[in-house]
Amino acid sequence: MNKSKDNIKEDIAGVLIDSEQVQNKVKELGKKISRDYKEKNPVLISVLKGSIVLLADLLKAVDISCSVDFIAVSSYGENTETSGVVKLIMDLRESIEGRHVLLVEDIVDTGLTMAYLKENLLTRHPASFKICALLSKPQRRQVNIDLDYIGFEIPDDFVVGYGLDYDEKYRNLDYIGTLKPRIYQKNG
């Protein structure tokens, strides 16, 4: 049996943000969000699938009344480049009319996904709308989008871990890392 095929850590070129740094940052974001949304009972909307790990940790880091909902879009195929076309593939369960909405996203790259979701969700008349993203790649931005809470700004590298995938793998790493080029070159 080829054990190395199952060892995802062997595909990682380097650690960009280690687990402790991520955890500290999420706690810090949780404190700010708790302060800003006191008595507002916000709905935290997780953009599937990449933000599920962030949502789970962020939920534990906020100490105010809040609810959660999920939405799914797609824009990436199996590649590391966005297709540029954002599609809604799963909608929210609940109405957000009159609610304070905090969109929780793993990473903002070109900004197309956030711009699409913002436009879509604002038509539903929330009381307020803000975005929390763990990672942002400012150099890659194609559209201007305001991020209200940002964990880390990172360079233009494709990263995986802490919910972020490449070809549906590596979401379960507890840190943010870069992939060895041979991984995406063989698919490219």
Q: Which residues form the interface with ligand IMP (CB under 6 A)?
A: 50, 75-76, 82, 105-113, 158-160, 164
Nearest CB to ligand IMP, comparing residues 30 and 50: 50
Residue 44 half-sphere exposure, CB side, CA atoms within 13 Å? Answer: 26
- Find out whether 113 and 49 touch, Cβ atoms under 8 Å: no
Determine the longest span between alpha carbons in the chain, in angstroms. 56
* Min dist. Cβ of residue 64 to ligand IMP (A): 25
Burial of 115 from C-beta contacts in 10 A (0-12 / 13-18 / 19+): middle
Q: Which of 57, 106, 109, 148 is catalytic?
A: 109
Least Cβ distance, residue 98 to ligand IMP (angstroms): 27
Nearest CB to ligand IMP, comparing residues 63 and 153 = 153
Give yes or no: 109 in active site.
yes
Which DSSP letter does residue 143 get? S
- The two structure tokens encoding residue 128: 């307020």
The tally of CA atoms less than 13 A away on the side-chain side of residue 38 is 4
We find the least distance from the C-beta atom of residue 110 to ligand IMP, in angstroms, to be 3
Nearer to ligand IMP, 65 or 187 (CB): 187
Give catalytic residue positions. Answer: 109
